[in-house]
């Protein structure tokens, strides 16, 4: 088990042994010191506000969880196009004391078959300005 703390967020990585012994042990129950909003980072899924959870991680596999003291329900974004340059600012809606996050933006330009993917560091849940030109990242 690995633990990393970033502001109010805790990240927990669990790596299951690759031996047959791990399979015989069965699911793992994880008891948290306090209830938290838990996210499965690998599946991109909210698991709920939990104080305890049971994980059935296969041998030689891993789980990666994020524990937050709040539940961000939305992200607000404002985009403005000026002279072929897109300016985007974004923040978590309804969260007063957010920790750092990474926002993933998918922007599909007119006529493009696939979106352009960008990731931006959002200190305290806010990203002031991301500038995107017509060039590839």
> pTM for this structure?
0.72
The model's pLDDT over 17-48, given as tens digits with 9 standing for 90+, comes to: 888 777 788 888 999 989 999 999 889 899 99
Specify the pLDDT at position 36. Answer: 94
CATH number of 2-68: 2.60.40.1180
Tell whether the model's pLDDT for residue 134 goes beyond 80.
no
Closest of 69, 87, 94 to residue 6, by C-alpha: 69
> By C-alpha distance, which of 38, 22, 30, 79 is closest to 54?
30
Which pLDDT band, with edges at 50, 70 and 90, does 129 fall under?
low
């Amino acid at each position: 088990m690995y633990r990393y703390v970033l502001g109010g967020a805790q990240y927990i990585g669990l790596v299951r042994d690759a031996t047959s012994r791990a399979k015989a042990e069965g699911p793992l129950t994880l008891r948290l010191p306090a209830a938290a909003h838990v996210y499965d980072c690998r599946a991109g899924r909210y698991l709920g506000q939990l104080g305890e959870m049971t994980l059935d991680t296969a041998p030689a596999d891993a789980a990666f969880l994020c524990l937050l003291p709040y539940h961000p329900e939305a992200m607000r974004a404002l985009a403005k196009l000026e002279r072929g340059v897109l300016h985007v600012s974004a923040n978590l809606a309804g969260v007063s004391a957010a920790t750092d996050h990474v926002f993933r933006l998918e922007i599909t330009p007119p006529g493009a078959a696939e979106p352009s993917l960008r990731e931006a560091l959002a200190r305290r849940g806010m990203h002031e300005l991301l500038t995107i030109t017509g060039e590839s990242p």
